[in-house]
Amino acid sequence: MHLKRWLTSLVALPLLVALMLKGSPLLFSVVIGMIALLTVWEYSRIVTGTSRLWLSHPLFYVALLTGVALIGAAYARLPAMMPLIISFSLMVTGGVCCREFRNDAEISRKVAFQTLGTIYIPLSLSYLVLIRQDFLGAEWVFFVVCVIFAGDTAAYYAGTYWGKHKLCPAVSPGKTVEGAFGGLVANIGIGLVFKSYFFPALPLEATIVFCFVIGIAGQIGDLFESVLKRSAGVKDSGGLLPGHGGILDRIDAMLFALPPAYFLKVFLLTQEGIR
């Protein structure tokens, strides 16, 4: 498992770095959109227990179209459009619910899953596109992604080698307090290293708070995906990434960390007059 994890990382990391630092904004947005669609499919498979039934349901396609619209709004630098897109999606979803209720007693449950999935995945990933489209976007994307991934990786290995006290055993028996602490240390440590190279003008205290907040958000996101998988009785969200599971398994922390990362970044740069 460890060998597969590292081999997958060695193949994927150079491509990811090239996309973040050298890819055009359009290419970056298209790739993020594709990741969002694949992750929505994995999520749908988890919450419904099957892929075939959900793939034929109109709610699935409402979620996909909403995801594309959210990524498109972020690419166009129109964050004010994103709540409107969500609202319109809810109206369409409500129409589908009314139409299907007579023949499907479970439609309200499916609507709840679809609405959660839309906010959970495409909306969260659209904030990564917003970061890429903003001031020093490529550098900030690289910064945020590395901080989150470093914390995720450090939490895994710190928990494996030194973990003794369970963090949330009902949700994820393998996660420990020591692992969570190691992850936060890595979040802040990597963040400070990147600050010194890419953003020397950022205040030290603000950088620590930024990394701490997105680190905590990332760990909650990791636990939330564990809740989904445990409720569904599955180990991984998919098998697209050998050694890591599915795409959702790899970006679960990022989905919770990206919205606060975007808003903290905007607030921080505005306060410091860097923008």
The predicted structure's pLDDT at residue 6? 47
Which of 225-229, 232-236, 246-250, 265-269 has the least mean pLDDT?
232-236
Residue 82 has pLDDT above 90, yes or no: yes
- With a pLDDT cut of 70, the percent of the chain lying above it is 87
Mean pLDDT over 153-164 rounds to 87
The predicted structure's pLDDT at residue 241? 60
Tokens of 77: 């630098």
Q: Name the most confidently modeled range: 10-14, 91-95, 257-261.
A: 257-261
pTM: 0.89
Q: Where are the domains of the chain?
A: 2-272
Q: What is the pLDDT of residues 4-33, one digit of tens each?
A: 554 445 555 566 667 777 778 899 999 999
Mean pLDDT over 52-74 rounds to 82
Q: What is the pLDDT of residues 183-221, one digit of tens each?
A: 999 999 999 999 998 888 888 999 999 999 999 999 999
The predicted structure's pLDDT at residue 259? 96
pLDDT class for 100, splitting at 50, 70, 90? confident
